[in-house]
Structure 1
Amino acid sequence: MLITKAIFERKISEFDTQNCVIEGIAIMSEDEFEEFSNNLLEDRDFIIDRKEEMFIDSIGQIHGLLALNMESGDGILIDSQGHKYARYTAFMPNIKPYIEQQISMVAEQIIKEAAENTSNGSWAIYFDEIEESHGIVIKENNGIGTLLLDELTSRDEIAEIEVLDDCFDMTIYLDYCNNLDEEIKPSQNMNM
């Protein structure tokens, strides 16, 4: 049985979709999401704290905040337009796999670049570089950084990762590095 959730419109000739940019993610448990989704017009601290992330840009794209149920995978995209509550909302059923896929692709590219370019296993990727190269914004407590950090940490290539004010400072296992200095390369005889 294939079960999902949907919002149905009556007798519409076409869907009026709009391009949206997810600027931040409020990661929620099942209970938190349920409470939020049943009281959308209530003032919320997580919306108040992130009002600047919700706007319509010069080309008409809606920049919003995604409330994400980490258990069910459903989400609600919010554009508060400066208000303290979810003034405009869009239900996003099963959005979590899409978010995870996008985060995974960014992590893969970051690791690939690090492995190809580090000469000693050490690599830093700055948040503004991530935004410029991959189109995702990493800010303190915006949820996207948390998901990306979790994904990077789970990768076999990463020996260590530290979050600094403006970057992820990583150490890549030397076996994955392609451009090591000669004095750092692991000895091929050690594996025999």
Structure 2
Amino acid sequence: MKIKANLLNKPVNFQMDDCQIEKVVELPRDQFSALVITPLTNQPFIAENKRWMFADDSAVHCLLALGQGSDDGVLIYSGGYDYPRLAAYLPGMRDILNARLERAADFIVHQGTEATENGSWSISCEELEKQTEITVRRGNGLDGMLLEALTHRGEVTSAALTDTGIDTVYHPGFCPKVPDQKPCYFTKLPEEQKTQVFYEAVETLRDFFGNENLYGVLHDGLQMPNEEILARGYLTTEAMLAAGAVMALPENSDISLRDILRYELTDDLSLIHSQGGEPVSLAQEEDLTRAERKRFSDVLDARVLESRAGEHGTELVIGGVKPERLERFRSVLDAYKPGEQSMGSIQ
């Protein structure tokens, strides 16, 4: 059985340090990879965030670096230098952090809805840290992540960070102490029953929406994560990519562009080569002739490596085909754009 482990050279002991995350920084994919591969190199983001890293009697106060498209993180203490003097690679840290933030949101919402008499409630950063051990400060990354978690809650109308804490406004129906309001009986149900009612409603929605519209309802409307949509079998990976889902694909994924083209594409879906270049809009893909599809079978069978947000919509990143072939594919598609004279087939 093979496992991955960070083995220490001549370890003195295996005692764990008490660490406090003071700030979260999201790094581009290539910058995060460079940090993991060559951690002793000076890093501009560390130089810019030295004030967030210090040590006292309570803990080592650290910077957490997360990589775009990655679930892992690196915990960093620089000791005043521009590179990590102490560091730990944390697999799955994004999911751990999101779970902790959801619990913090649960605490804020429960306290606020139970205590407010006018629909509004405030909690100080100090109390939040005492109750949840999460340090939220303006501009430390955790502030935006917690506010996002709060705004996704059905009880919350709005949430805002102040200099001293978090202000929240709730729908009156969730606040039993707000006068002249009918209680929201759905909140009185046991959690298991609420979950069952929710997923029964989702199953009903599946009968009314096609793949593209269903993804919008589940992800954008109900805020259901892509991972859950896939795990529950509501949509296939190909259907989600065709609907414009932004998501990382596993390394062993063998999904091709042709697989995705079987579904109805969104109007803002485009194609880009893994080596870079300008995106190729797929809006005219349905106009291709059978001969053109055969001529560009290498492009259509190219493996999709990633789906990401681009300047003009969702971009499908492909590999295994020469960049110049993608440029020729672009020329054929451009010939079908409204108002342009067809240039004929291009070899």
TM-score per shorter chain, which class? 0.7 to 0.9
The answer to whether the Cα contact below 8 Å between 2:39 and 2:84 also exists between their aligned partners in 1 is yes
1:160 paired with 2:158, answer yes
Residue 26 and residue 113 in structure 1: after superposition, are their counterparts in 2 closer, same or farther (change >3 A)?
Answer: same
The answer to whether the Cα contact below 8 Å between 1:78 and 1:90 also exists between their aligned partners in 2 is yes
Identity across the alignment (%):
30
What letter is aligned with 1:40? P
What letter is aligned with 1:48? A
Residue 14 and residue 36 in structure 1: after superposition, are their counterparts in 2 closer, same or farther (change >3 A)?
Answer: closer
Counterparts of 1:153 and 1:85 in 2: how far apart (Å)? 36
Residue 9 and residue 42 in structure 1: after superposition, are their counterparts in 2 closer, same or farther (change >3 A)?
Answer: closer
The answer to whether the Cα contact below 8 Å between 2:46 and 2:78 also exists between their aligned partners in 1 is yes
Aligned to 2:72: 74
Q: Which moved more, 1:101-110 or 1:129-138?
A: 129-138
Aligned to 2:137: 139
What letter is aligned with 2:170? I
Counterparts of 2:22 and 2:10 in 1: how far apart (Å)? 33
Aligned to 1:108: 106
Query: How far does the alpha carbon of each residue in 1:147-191 deviate from its partner, in whole angstroms, 9 at most, with x for none?
Result: 111111111111122333333222111121121134xx2499xxx
Alpha-carbon RMSD: 2.6
Q: Which moved more, 1:90-99 or 1:36-45?
A: 36-45
Q: Which moved more, 1:117-126 or 1:75-84?
A: 117-126
Counterparts of 1:4 and 1:120 in 2: how far apart (Å)? 54
What letter is aligned with 2:14? F
Counterparts of 1:187 and 1:79 in 2: how far apart (Å)? 48
Larger relative helix fraction: 2
Residue 179 and residue 145 in structure 1: after superposition, are their counterparts in 2 closer, same or farther (change >3 A)?
Answer: same
Count of paired positions: 184
What letter is aligned with 1:34? S
With normalisation by structure 1, the TM-score equals 0.82
1:54 Cα offset (Å): 1.8
Counterparts of 2:143 and 2:116 in 1: how far apart (Å)? 23
With normalisation by structure 2, the TM-score equals 0.48
Q: What 5-or-longer segments of structure 1 have no aligned partner?
A: none
Query: How far does the alpha carbon of each residue in 1:113-148 deviate from its partner, in whole angstroms, 9 at most, with x for none?
Result: 000011121122232332233222112221111211
Counterparts of 1:154 and 1:131 in 2: how far apart (Å)? 21
Residue 65 and residue 179 in structure 1: after superposition, are their counterparts in 2 closer, same or farther (change >3 A)?
Answer: same
What letter is aligned with 1:142? N
Aligned to 1:99: 97
Q: In structure 1, which of residues 171, 177, 180 is the aligned counterpart of residue 178 of structure 2?
A: 180
What letter is aligned with 1:101? A
Q: What 5-or-longer segments of structure 2 have no aligned partner?
A: 185-347
Aligned to 1:18: 17
Give the 3-state SS of the residue equivalent to 2:83 in structure 1: coil
The answer to whether the Cα contact below 8 Å between 2:143 and 2:161 also exists between their aligned partners in 1 is no
Aligned to 2:168: 170
Rg larger for: 2
The answer to whether the Cα contact below 8 Å between 2:173 and 2:183 also exists between their aligned partners in 1 is no
The answer to whether the Cα contact below 8 Å between 2:174 and 2:183 also exists between their aligned partners in 1 is no
1:10 Cα offset (Å): 6.4
Query: How far does the alpha carbon of each residue in 1:11-41 deviate from its partner, in whole angstroms, 9 at most, with x for none?
Result: 8696342222222211234333113323423
Counterparts of 1:4 and 1:29 in 2: how far apart (Å)? 27
What letter is aligned with 1:52? R
Counterparts of 2:105 and 2:141 in 1: how far apart (Å)? 15
Residue 177 and residue 142 in structure 1: after superposition, are their counterparts in 2 closer, same or farther (change >3 A)?
Answer: same
Aligned to 2:87: 89
Counterparts of 2:44 and 2:68 in 1: how far apart (Å)? 19
Counterparts of 2:110 and 2:183 in 1: how far apart (Å)? 23
Aligned to 2:34: 35
